[in-house]
Structure 1
Amino acid sequence: MSGRKSVFVTAAFVLSVSLAASFLAVMLVSRYYSGLQFDLLNGICSEILEEEPEAEDAVLTALKEYISANAHGLAQRDILSPLGYRRSDFSQSAYRQNVLFSLSGFSAGVFLFFFTILYRNKMEARRIQALAEYLEQVNIGKAVILSAHREDDFSKLEDEIYKTVTFLYQARDAAVQAKNNFAENLSNIAHQIKTPITAISLSVQTMKREYSQKSLEQIQKQLLRLTHLEEALLVLSRLDAGTLVLQREEIDVFTVLSLAADNLQELFAASGTSIDIPERGEMAITADLDWTMEAMINLMKNCMEHNRGGTVHCFYEQNPLYTQILIWDEGKGFFKEDIPHLFERFYRGKNAGEGGIGIGLSLSKEIIERQNGTIRAQNMPEGGACFEIRFYTGGSSQ
């Protein structure tokens, strides 16, 4: 309820009570004056009949005419004024009663007015105290959901306080989660870095005793792994911080897949793996060419590592809602227990390739989802691991 409406209701309440009190006062005053009038007429008639008993018929006739609403005609014959009487001569006895009635009505109105104000102030004080106690509970971390009150001037303030507290709690939970994720990432990074450093140290010790081409190749391999780890961590940190800007432009799906395959040409040749990308006509998605290509490279590379000597297949199609891209291999597929965790950072499945660091799939997922897309992993009915990517047309990803 708005403040203006609340004031209107309060004013209407005071006015209603005042009118009821005024009506009651008028009724009491009317009854009182009716009694005075009756006593006055009764006294006058008694005096007349004592002095002139034979005038009883004339008195009764005058009273009947007065009661029959003919008093106006009688009042036109002014008898008392020539005899020196005034209206005030007959109202002096009621003066005190009039003053008493006036003071009583005024006092009742003042009382009702101040009672209403005091009651309103008391209710406001209670509401303020309740909100203050709620904020105290918030400060010590023991706040509960605000109980529902009737709508009043403080309802909007209560709603805003609840929204602010809810936002603060969400921000706190997000900060705690981010802190936990940061600690977990640091632990995983330390573990990932420890492996190549240990391998390099062992190779260096071997080379100190005797020169070995194999040890030198091992050092180069581990240094390359550290370089890849560093690059991936930098990209992930930019994604987490929101500083990685992805361009929004129309790009052709076949072009993205072909460029990704070209970057893996040497690896495919070395592993004896081929890749099949059918040309299905022009189909465009709104995305960043370079980073989308990076995501596809990671997915194709994952399929290649589990399908050496086989073929990595690609397929894509489009409908009014989304563009779907499928990338699958002819290997044994994913272990069932690995599927829920494949896109977690630093997670490496049971059949993960040697030297992997468990960041590629996580990076692909974040790149795709930040471009209004989704990705999921599944096994093909006839065998083989499959990645299903969807880029949605406008709106939010589903």
Structure 2
Amino acid sequence: MFRNREIRQFAVLLALITAASAAAGFAVHPAAGILALVTAIAFGTAFFLFTKARYRSIARITDQIDLVLHNAGHTFISESDEGELSILQSEITKMTLRIREQNDALKKEKTRLADSLADIAHQLRTPLTSANLILSLLKNNPEKAERMALLRETDELFIQMDWLITSLLKLSRLDAGIVVFQSEQTDVNDLIQTALRPFLISMELHNIQVQTEIPKGISVTGDSGWLSEAIQNILKNCIESAGEDGKIQIVCEDTLLFTRITLHDSGAGFAQEDLPHVFDRLYRGKNSSTTGYGIGLALCKTIIIRQGGTITAKNHPQGGAVFTIRFPK
């Protein structure tokens, strides 16, 4: 208690006041001096006993806080009957629980990040290994036609790696919160056409037909560039799922509450156990034939949600996958 500078200062001041009052009392009458001295001593004793008890309670709280900080299984600080200390203990308990929750969340995030990095390294290593194998075949293959085919295959592998790295960088920028979305009216028909443009050659080569039902004049509010990026990722998934001679249907509906964009492909749809995880990052599905990286749909969902929209995925009763995007008015 006396380690506190204020207590030491108060003790000195009380001693001076006691001496002064006792001297004045004795100067008037011996009985008055004795009364002043006894009163000062009684007051000082009561004050120091009360202060000692208060410091004992504070020391107990300090010990419990130390126990909580160094013992993962201890999260409770016993309450005090005193008003101010009871409030203080309650607030410290809340803060402790909040810190513990944040610490647990950080541990889970750290574990998830480590797993994600391992998955990313594996996904990059696979096309790199294939590219190295193709390059070794090129060295020992004199046939021009075969060399050209191997070069095309290598080019496709590097395109895949470029897409993966670019998507991961975009996700990291979104996670870091450094992306500023523009809020502007974007025509849905223009948005869909912009998203389709990079896939026109691929769809023509694989004879994939796209049917659009988009009434004129329908628009959504958001960043056209990022929204186009989101829809491109859905289209990429639909094209891969539809395969040769496939079909993709894009329908837009405008209601009083929201604008809905639906994309339906003619592929096999999702396995039932995959549906809850379609938009999970780095989830590739239980089907061994799945060729994606588990990045595109996660990026798509992040972009749409950050701009106030929602996206869901399900299987169509007649076959194929259905993606539904909603933007509130």
Fold shared by both chains (TM-score > 0.5) = yes
Name the count of aligned residue pairs: 294
Q: Paired residue for 1:194, among 114, 118, 125?
A: 125
Q: Paired residue for 1:288, among 220, 223, 240?
A: 223
Alignment correspondent of 1:185: 116
Question: What SS is found at the alignment partner of 1:277?
Answer: strand
Kindly tell me: are residues 166 and 324 of structure 1, through their superposed partners in 2, closer, same or farther at Cα, counting changes over 3 Å?
farther
Q: Which amino acid aligns with 1:361?
A: L
Kindly tell me: are residues 258 and 351 of structure 1, through their superposed partners in 2, closer, same or farther at Cα, counting changes over 3 Å?
farther
Q: Which amino acid aligns with 1:136?
A: D
Does residue 1:209 correspond to 2:140, yes or no? yes
- Between the aligned partners of 2:102 and 2:240, the Cα distance in structure 1 is 41
- Between the aligned partners of 2:291 and 2:158, the Cα distance in structure 1 is 11
Contact preservation (8 Å) 1:375, 1:390: yes
Kindly tell me: are residues 208 and 258 of structure 1, through their superposed partners in 2, closer, same or farther at Cα, counting changes over 3 Å?
closer
TM-score, with length taken from structure 2: 0.77
Q: Paired residue for 2:96, among 157, 161, 165?
A: 165
Alignment correspondent of 2:67: 137
Contact preservation (8 Å) 1:305, 1:353: no
Whichever of the two has the greater Rg, that structure is 1
Residue deviations 1:153-211, cap 9 Å, x none?
A: 13443344234323322332232222212211211111111111111111111111123
- Between the aligned partners of 1:320 and 1:295, the Cα distance in structure 2 is 24
Question: What SS is found at the alignment partner of 2:213?
Answer: coil
Deviates more, 1:130-139 or 1:146-155: 146-155
Report the CA distance between 1:256 and its aligned residue.
1.9
Kindly tell me: are residues 343 and 128 of structure 1, through their superposed partners in 2, closer, same or farther at Cα, counting changes over 3 Å?
same
Kindly tell me: are residues 182 and 146 of structure 1, through their superposed partners in 2, closer, same or farther at Cα, counting changes over 3 Å?
same
Report the CA distance between 1:140 and its aligned residue.
0.4
Residue deviations 1:196-252, cap 9 Å, x none?
A: 111111111111112322222222121111211221121122122222222233323
Q: Which amino acid aligns with 2:106?
A: A
Q: Which amino acid aligns with 1:362?
A: A
- Between the aligned partners of 1:353 and 1:341, the Cα distance in structure 2 is 17
- Between the aligned partners of 1:363 and 1:175, the Cα distance in structure 2 is 22
| Unpaired segments ≥5 residues, structure 1 | 1-101, 394-398
Kindly tell me: are residues 310 and 209 of structure 1, through their superposed partners in 2, closer, same or farther at Cα, counting changes over 3 Å?
closer
% identical equivalent positions? 33
Equivalences for residues 52-91 of structure 1 within 5 A: none
Does residue 1:386 correspond to 2:322, yes or no? yes
Does residue 1:367 correspond to 2:303, yes or no? yes
Report the CA distance between 1:363 and its aligned residue.
1.0
Q: Which amino acid aligns with 1:223?
A: F
Question: What SS is found at the alignment partner of 1:324?
Answer: strand
Contact preservation (8 Å) 1:299, 1:361: yes
Kindly tell me: are residues 145 and 328 of structure 1, through their superposed partners in 2, closer, same or farther at Cα, counting changes over 3 Å?
farther
Contact preservation (8 Å) 1:188, 1:346: yes
Report the CA distance between 1:110 and its aligned residue.
8.6
Q: Which amino acid aligns with 2:267?
A: G
Contact preservation (8 Å) 2:188, 2:214: no
Q: Which amino acid aligns with 1:230?
A: I
Q: Which amino acid aligns with 1:129?
A: A
- Between the aligned partners of 1:120 and 1:381, the Cα distance in structure 2 is 77
Report the CA distance between 1:342 and its aligned residue.
1.8
Report the CA distance between 1:285 and its aligned residue.
3.0
Q: Which amino acid aligns with 1:349?
A: G
Does residue 1:265 correspond to 2:164, yes or no? no
Report the CA distance between 1:371 and its aligned residue.
1.7
- Between the aligned partners of 1:149 and 1:295, the Cα distance in structure 2 is 55
| Unpaired segments ≥5 residues, structure 2 | 1-31
Kindly tell me: are residues 301 and 353 of structure 1, through their superposed partners in 2, closer, same or farther at Cα, counting changes over 3 Å?
farther
Alignment correspondent of 1:234: 169
- Between the aligned partners of 1:205 and 1:245, the Cα distance in structure 2 is 45
Report the CA distance between 1:291 and its aligned residue.
0.8
Alignment correspondent of 1:22: none
Report the CA distance between 1:116 and its aligned residue.
6.7
Report the CA distance between 1:266 and its aligned residue.
1.9
Question: What do you get for the CA RMSD once the two structures are aligned?
Answer: 3.2
Contact preservation (8 Å) 2:253, 2:260: yes
Kindly tell me: are residues 206 and 262 of structure 1, through their superposed partners in 2, closer, same or farther at Cα, counting changes over 3 Å?
closer
Q: Which amino acid aligns with 2:281?
A: R
Question: What SS is found at the alignment partner of 2:157?
Answer: helix
